[in-house]
Structure 1
Amino acid sequence: MTTRIYFASNSLGHVSEPDLQRALDHFNLGELVHSHRTAEGVMGQTLLIQTTQGEFILKGNPLYNGQFQEEQFFVEQLAARTTIPVPVPYQIQEDTQLLGWSYVIMPKLPGNHLYDPVFQATLTSQDHKDITDVLAETLAELHHWKVPDAGEYDPVADKIMPFAGSYLDWLYGSIRHWLHDAEKYSVITDDDVSWVDEQLRQSESAFLVSTVHEFVMGDFKVENFLIQKTDPPASSWRISGLFDFTTAYFGDGTADLTKITARYLREDRPDLAARFLHHYRENVCADDAEKCKHFRSRLLIHLLYQRILWWGEAKATRQVTWEADLPFAPWAERYIEKVLSLLD
């Protein structure tokens, strides 16, 4: 399942035009005009294809058995449950004979990526603020999908399967697993472990109050959505496409705040990070006062989890972007305190 996959890659390799045309023919999607790799394609798995019928995304060579079935489930459910545009129809070809692996073809959604510097240059200060609000509202809408038990979609059983034990068991177990995994690539001291354990202990009660759990996208970042302005007279910003649900599960939606917050801080925009967090919290408080009361403690734990994953990946790939001799706990604590200060 995807909640256990973080550092994997299956690229497509070379796909010939005749083979690509046959892949299109299977779904009657017209004649191939041209194709190219997407700039930020997930794990090198995607091609942008233009045909005589329109533009499509081909995604192939799944990372694990059931990847496409899982994504299809979430795409179809979100299409029915929210107003957020997702890539439907999400059409799967399971036969591996044609391209050497199974693949899916979905419509290309309209809009721009926020990471595009050309698009960024067109945005005003007010545009940035409005887009920040839209991102918070989008997450709030996603998190309205609630289920009784925390868990993940099982493509074999074709249903959501609860985690073994409680959500707290799963979350804290995952955090400790990846902290100890980071010991393979870096120095994690007893003091680091003790500090992490203390953060977990202090926040434990914040995760024991919920009787329901919500959809968590798990990878809400600028690479996984498109945005555009609606036509006049309304002319307001909206998410025009949301995709890549290979890390989705059901738990605490606060986890989805970490990557956009981190990006705003990397771009030296703490004002936008604060606006994003406050606007999301306002939406949550309107619907769930109990969750709102524990918002800070929950966010702290998800920020800690994010820091552990990023530390482990950076150390494993030797792409450290901070002082090489800075211990984990001070490095993580400094960042977490900076984010939490934005809530004041």
Structure 2
Amino acid sequence: MCSKMYSQQLGELSDGQFQAALEHFQLGKFVRAQAIPFGNFGQNVFVTSTKGEYVLRGNPHFAGQFSTEQFYTKLLHERTEVPVPWPYYIDPTTKIFGWSYVLMPRMEGLQLADDEVRKQLKPAEKRAIAKALGENLAQMQELTWPFAGRYYAASGKVEPFDLERELAWPVPVSSSRLLSFDHARAVSYADRVVARIIHKLKDAQAYSEHTTQSDITWAEEYIASAQKALLEPFKPCLVMEDYKEGNLVVTQHGADWRVSGVFDLMEAHFGDGEADLSRAAAMYYDEDPELARIFVRAYLSRRPPRPGFEERFSVYMLLDRAILWNFFQYSKMRWWDESWTFRDWASRYVSLEAMGLS
């Protein structure tokens, strides 16, 4: 029986295992599997059967990852026109691979996570794709909820944000450092954002000397200047918290491009939709500030900004940068000046003016 190493996360898999997974959901006979050379965590494999093209996603990062992704994918499928991989089949048992797995349809379109694909795109095509991402993000946010909160697989429902669980997420509270709350504390979306920024930065201090108290004070000054803006009412909607080119595919329609598939919803929750501008805007800014401008303007053309947008943009960008910075410090990843602290790295992103978006 043929076996092959597909990724560090998934390990060596055999054709027989793929066949067993397909049979479990009556998805045809196994034809071939293809390792995916892009993406950060190596959870996915392209699988072809006699019934179609699929993605196998395995070895979850945390308990409830797949049921969380299934929950938000189902809602997007049922309540919006956003293309998502549905059905999203979950086998919670470990008997085939040694870990639970998902099988879902492979979405048609260009894989923008593939650097080789992006290298082939012309400047005009990149601009059209940035516009499509902004419009699609606005469309995703047609999925709303009565209150801000997160889906919890253990309860099978969306619950309002609780500060202790939110700071520990996605691990259990007992596994997280720096937490000492004696009981649950309900928290507003704004307070959750602020608490996560400070928590991520303080936690990053344990991994290197590149997060200083001066960095935290700098972040707190931005937060203080945005207090009024953060209190501006909003209708809670889907926030993916990792919205970027790498988590979707696109197709061309004449001179226009459209998002033809969105996936990887494990960090999703319901909150202020403006927060989902941060990651893609920063990545576009690094490549070409004009792409960032096109992306943000396309979004705002569909979802006009509320009062205080500029101040909230800074705080939401701080959160996104703090999440990534924490991960980079923990993982010992760095591709910038070794002497830089968090402020040195993040300051170019945290205002509309600094990014040339004002």
Gaps of 5+ in 2: 1-6, 163-186
**In the comparison of the two structures, how many residue pairs are matched?**
327
In structure 1, what is the Cα distance between the partners aligned to 2:87 and 2:345?
44
Aligned match of 2:310 = 296
Q: Distance in 2 between matches of 1:35 and 1:293?
A: 50
Say if 2:273 is the partner of 1:249.
no
Q: 1:140 is matched with which residue?
A: 138
| Amino acid corresponding to residue 144 of structure 2 in structure 1 | K
- Assess, with a 3 A threshold, how the Cα gap between structure 1 residues 299 and 139 changes in structure 2: closer, same or farther: same
Please state whether the residue corresponding to 2:313 is helix, strand or coil: helix
Q: Give CA deviations for 1:193-222 in whole Å, capped at 9, x if unaligned.
A: 221111111112212121531110111112
1:281 corresponds to which of 300, 305, 317: 300
- Once the two structures are TM-superposed, the CA of residue 161 in structure 1 deviates from its matched residue by 0.6
What is the letter of the counterpart of residue 236 of structure 2?
Answer: H
Q: Is the 8 A contact 1:148 1:211 kept in 2?
A: no
**Distance in 2 of aligned mates of 1:306 and 1:41:** 19
Deviations 1:34-87 (A, max 9, x none): 112222356221111111111111111112222111111111110111111100
Displacement after TM superposition at 1:99 (Å)? 1.8
- Pick aligned residue for 2:103 from 98, 101, 105: 105
1:6 matched residue in structure 2: none
Corresponding residue SS for 1:329? helix
Flag the 1:98–1:246 CA change in 2: closer, same or farther, 3 A: same
Q: Distance in 2 between matches of 1:10 and 1:142?
A: 32
Indicate the percent of aligned positions where both proteins have the same amino acid: 35
The aligned counterpart of 2:204 is: 182
1:151 Cα offset (Å): 0.7
- SS of 1:49's partner is strand
CA separation in 2, counterparts of 1:275 and 1:145? 23
Question: CA contact under 8 A between 2:38 and 2:113: conserved in structure 1?
Answer: no
Partner residue in 2 for 1:258:
278
**Unmatched 5+ stretches in structure 1:** 1-8, 286-290
TM-score (structure 1 length as normaliser): 0.88
Task: State the distance in 1 between where 2:347 and 2:255 align.
Answer: 41
- Cα 1:338–1:205 change in 2 (3 A) is closer
Provide the residue aligned with 1:156 in structure 2: 154
Relative distance call for 1:271 and 1:26 in structure 2 (3 A) is same
After superposition, residues 213-252 of structure 1 pair within 5 angstroms as 213-230=236-253, 236-252=256-272
Runs of 4+ in 1 over 6 A off after TM superposition: none
> Residue 237 of structure 1: SS of its match in structure 2?
strand
What SS does the aligned partner of 1:293 have? Answer: coil
The answer to whether structure 1 residue 169 and structure 2 residue 169 are counterparts is no
CA distances 1:93-151 after superposition (whole Å, capped 9, x unpaired)? 12222221111111111000224355335534332222111110111111122223211
CA separation in 2, counterparts of 1:53 and 1:61?
A: 24
- Show CA shifts across 1:218-262 (max 9, x none): 1111221000013xxx66311111111000001111221122222
Name the aligned partner's letter for residue 266 of structure 1.
Answer: D
The 3 A distance-change label for structure 1 pair 229 and 153 is same
How far is 1:32 from its partner? 1.0
Secondary structure at the aligned position of 2:279 is classed as helix
Partner Cα distance (1:25, 1:75) in 2: 23
Give distance in 2, aligned partners of 1:307 and 1:195. Answer: 13
Query: Aligned pair 1:199/2:222, yes or no?
Result: yes
Q: Give me the CA root mean square deviation.
A: 2.1
Q: Is the 8 A contact 1:10 1:61 kept in 2?
A: no
- Give, as a single letter, the amino acid of the residue that structure 2 aligns with 1:181: D
